[in-house]
Amino acid sequence: MNLETPNSEISIVGLILCAGDGKRMNLGYNKMLYYVGKKTILELTLDRFKSSRVKTVMLVINEADRDAVGAIAERYEDVAITVGGETRTESVRRGLKEIGHCDVVCIHDGARPYVTAKIIDDTIESAVEYGSGIAAVPTVDTVSEINDGEIIRHLAKSGLYNVQTPQTFIFDQIQHAYNLVQGNFSDDSEVYALAGFKPHIVLGEYENIKLTHAYELFAPASGRTKIGLGFDVHRLVSGRDLILGGVMIPHNKGLLGHSDADCLVHAVMDALLSAAELPDIGVLFPETDPKYKGASSIRLLAEIYGLITRRSYAVGNVSAVIMAEKPRMRPYIPDMIVNISTALNTSPDRVNISATTTERLGLIGDERGIAASATCLLFY
């Protein structure tokens, strides 16, 4: 079933299920409120949805978590909450009823915080074209049928998939399915199929696991990081302002370049792009393009932050070094940190900047240029 409404105009709601109690993890509270780093599992999941085409979200919660979840929801735009039922099926039914109507609904287990915006958007595209988009990955383990502790038969892995969420549907179809099919189910695509519809598979990712057991709280986070490295150098010339980290520094020379030539910010940008597997700033902001003449590098850094968040990356930390003989950088570093952390929508304690000389060696030591290097850590 194809929607007649253009893709850019269809209404899409994310229905995120987070009404569990954390018993299998022995936490004593809902695992959605467990902190991975500085964010809860719920926040990580919401961040992924907010970087996708889904802009409106309905959280299906446990009544006992209303205050805690409500406090998190208030920090996001267009996030509402409703109370779920005793089973997953009943929670979905209540969530669909609370939504009322939309064109497409994207149902997701809140305990899958490592979903990517790409998977979410791919399931939406599939739903628009085929009526449904079910994230799934080919089975890699041997699957066997067991009876009384003995293997009865092995199933051929060819054609077997592990079904994940998100599972995205034309709203009217999945609502009809849940109204029609009675009983309790662990999977939305099963309800959809029992109602006579054909679930359409979209390739998911193996990292998109559902956090169920305590050990899973640690393993995914430790492996889902990327490190980036950036370096930049510019010549010092008369008649130019010296701008580093978005701070104008009094000096008799400035850095030569097409933009404001802020080599510190350029190094940070290239580090971020490197970690996110994106082209460097010379490709994204070519010096042959007149619109970047004199451009603020801090503004360009904010654009790059937008690029990496749309690819479901979050900034872990940034560490940079300025290499200059003169002037002294220490008085200006606090303001540089504020400017860079603001552009990256992160706290200043995640940005570190130091300065050094080259002991009067080379073009930097001769005061003919200033260089900077940067490394960054991205979570995804």
In this predicted model, what pLDDT tens digit does every residue of 316-361 receive, in sequence order? 899 999 999 999 999 999 999 999 999 998 889 899 999 999 999 9
What pLDDT does 64 receive? 92
Q: 258: burial class by Cβ within 10 Å (0-12, 13-18, 19+)?
A: middle
This prediction has a pTM of: 0.67
Residues near 133 by beta carbon (within 8 Å), at least 6 away in sequence: 122, 123, 124, 125, 126, 127, 166, 167, 168, 169, 200, 202
What pLDDT does 19 receive? 87
Q: Quick check: helix, strand or coil at residue 299? A: helix
What pLDDT does 215 receive? 63
What pLDDT does 156 receive? 80
Do the beta carbons of residue 56 and residue 13 sit within 8 Å? yes
Does the domain formed by 225-379 have CATH 2.60.120.10? no
What pLDDT does 39 receive? 84
DSSP-assigned beta bridge partners for residue 200: none
The dotted CATH code for 7-223 is 3.90.550.10
Residues of the chain with pLDDT under 50: 1-2, 221-222
In this predicted model, what pLDDT tens digit does every residue of 228-267 receive, in sequence order? 999 999 999 999 999 999 999 999 999 999 999 999 999 9
What pLDDT does 8 receive? 62
Sheet of 369-379: strand order equals: 254-255, 225-237, 369-379, 314-323, 351-356
* Spans of all domains in the chain: 7-223, 225-379
Do the beta carbons of residue 128 and residue 104 sit within 8 Å? yes
